[in-house]
Structure 1
Amino acid sequence: FNVAIFGATGAVGETMLEVLQEREFPVDELFLLASERSEGKTYRFNGKTVRVQNVEEFDWSQVHIALFSAGGELSAKWAPIAAEAGVVVIDNTSHFRYDYDIPLVVPEVNPEAIAEFRNRNIIANPNCSTIQMLVALKPIYDAVGIERINVTTYQSVSGAGKAGIDELAGQTAKLLNGYPAETQAFSQQIAFNCIPQIDQFMDNGYTKEEMKMVWETQKIFNDPSIMVNP
């Protein structure tokens, strides 16, 4: 397959590159895509040097499968363009997760939903916490059903991308050297701390991250009656 990674220079994109190589995915040609700012950066893949290209100038007709992890706004812009060119887009953002005609897939839980990619040539990837939870709960759901899930998650700063990782490292170094921590990526100091907020708070008092687990669980199990208390 000809494979593209959009958002290749981010923390998730770099991990995608590593996993493709580690699992020996059958890649004929690899395209690394990012914004103009990252154009020209190089990575090694299967013994070859691959240069990052500017997505604004890229011809999507060269690609069979594209892995998107460049943020929701960029997925909203480029995923339909790539899909229209015949690319199967696997989107790692939350942008398409709740569209009724786009499959939200956890292979170990609802692999049959993958066939629905033909609707729009896009497959949505769920939130990481939802994935882990539903893989564990699937056998129970199949055996006896589930009425309610009470769940607590503790998540790493890498969920906020490179900015989150850098802020944790920077704050830790400053505090250990007697300097005050500067806060930008998070609402509160994150070094040596655990804060009860991921993403923005919604009108119902839950954060968007918490509501993702509610909405995604119901869609993946195709069961809107399941109650989720995150």
Structure 2
Amino acid sequence: MSEKKVVVAVVGATGAVGREMLKILEERDFPFSQLVPLASARSAGNSIEYKGKKIVVKELKEDSFKGIDLALFSAGGSTSEKYAPHAVKAGCVVVDNSSAWRMDKRCPLVVPEVNPEALKNHQGIIANPNCSTIQMVVALKPLHDAAKIKRVIVSTYQAVSGTGQKAITELDTQVRQMFNLQAPDVKVYPYQIAFNCLPQIDVFMPNDYTKEEMKMVDETVKIMNDPNIKVTATAVRVPVFYGHSESLNIETEKKLTSKEARAILSKAPGIQVFDNPSEKMYPMAITAAGENEVFVGRIREDETIANGLNMWVVADNIRKGAALNAVQIAERLLKDNLLKVKDPNAFM
């Protein structure tokens, strides 16, 4: 990595993903000269800890980005829509974790293990993909390079932390209430999540898919840069605190045996193959919690079609699915000397 030190802001520094970003910046010793935590007026004045030192959180304003080189945003779509253009106007490069800019043609949608080349033409805002999409494409890309994927059928089993701290608290509260024979309080989700699975994540679209499902469809095509890949998704919220799990069925143009797929994935960046059925070895949400890698197991051939594979893919949705991926993008921008805004007015 370049030795150049930059001024870095974390927008939404007091939220779950913002705190994880700070933790990962510290773990990976990201080279900055100054760290500026930003949050809403409600959180401003609080402090965060970084390498044993307390840093006061500043209020996020339109003029907060003067002198800042890089901003990692994780404060929701409406916040990103409002403030990211002001950051770019000030000469700051934005890596945004919300859905606000993902399908904007001006903004690359990047997973560093999959399409780092997309960063070269950024105009100031780089989008971090959806958590469930990130772990899926990390597993898909090496197989696509080897055998060209035609179709993906994915079912997700997503942890409540993907909704945020309120959902984590609600699951914890509901479990306690039900063990005490009390009716569970239901506020965050349409129905109770404790001891239940909800086949709805986000709102339903006109085609009866949810917004989360269509994110996986559209984002995969953009990241893989292949409009011919067909994706269909069913996204389910499950009573797990951390870690998204996915069942993938893929069809390829070229035949891949399970042994070949296992060998390819074992050599791929960011992946740990955790797959030995005879020893009951397969990845689970608890396997991935707190880890950086995408875990892949249950690799087997689909016996109903000529060129099909099934896989089970698990990752920590707060780390690789959000904070880590954003920091990895930042590292790549620094390494490739891409922390420059070509047109400050590109998004104004």
What TM-score does the superposition give when structure 2 sets the normalisation length?
A: 0.64
1:6 is matched with 11
Cα shift readout 1:12-57 (whole Å, capped 9, x = no counterpart): 1111111111111112111111111111111110221111111027
* Alpha-carbon distance between aligned partners in 1 of 2:59 and 2:82, rounded to the nearest angstrom: 15
- The within-5 A match list for 1:184-223 is 184-223=187-226
Offset at residue 176 of structure 1 (A): 1.4
1:44 is paired with a residue of what secondary structure? Answer: strand
2:51 aligns with 46
The AA in structure 1 aligned to 2:119 is: I
Corresponding residue for residue 100 of structure 1: 105
CA distance in structure 1 between the partners assigned to 2:87 and 2:106 by the alignment: 17
Alignment partner for residue 185 of structure 2, among 182, 190, 195?
182
Preserved CA contact (<8 Å) 2:11 2:18? yes
Q: Which residue of 1 aligns with 2:23?
A: 18
Pair 1:130 & 2:143 matched: no
Question: Normalising by the residue count of structure 1, what TM-score does the alignment of the two structures yield?
Answer: 0.96
> C-alpha deviations, 1:127-176, integer Å up to 9, x for none?
11111111111111112211100111111101111111111111111111
Give the one of 171, 176, 185 matched to 2:174.
171
Q: Which runs of 5+ in 1 are unaligned?
A: none
Taking the aligned partners of 1:94 and 1:165, their CA distance within structure 2 comes to 21
Report whether the alignment pairs 1:65 with 2:70.
Answer: yes
Aligned to 1:151: 154
- Residue 59 of structure 1 deviates from its aligned partner by 2.8
Counterpart amino acid of residue 198 in structure 1: I
CA RMSD of the aligned region, Å? 1.1
SS in 1 for 2:42: helix
Larger Rg belongs to: 2
Indicate the percent of aligned positions where both proteins have the same amino acid. Answer: 54
Q: Specify the SS of the correspondent of 1:130.
A: helix
CA offset digits 1:69-91 (Å, max 9, x no partner): 10000000000000110111000
In structure 2, the partner of 1:115 is: 120
Distance in 2 between residues matched to 1:59 and 1:95, nearest whole Å: 20
Q: Which residue of 1 aligns with 2:86?
A: 81
Cα distance in 2 between the residues matched to 1:139 and 1:23:
25
Q: Which moved more, 1:55-64 or 1:6-15?
A: 55-64
Q: Letter of the aligned partner of 1:124 in structure 2?
A: A
Letter in 2 for 1:174: Q
Shifted more, 200-209 versus 171-180: the winner is 171-180
SS of equivalent to 1:56: coil
Does 1:226 find its partner at 2:229? yes
State how far apart, in whole Å, the 1-side matches of 2:214 and 2:139 are.
19
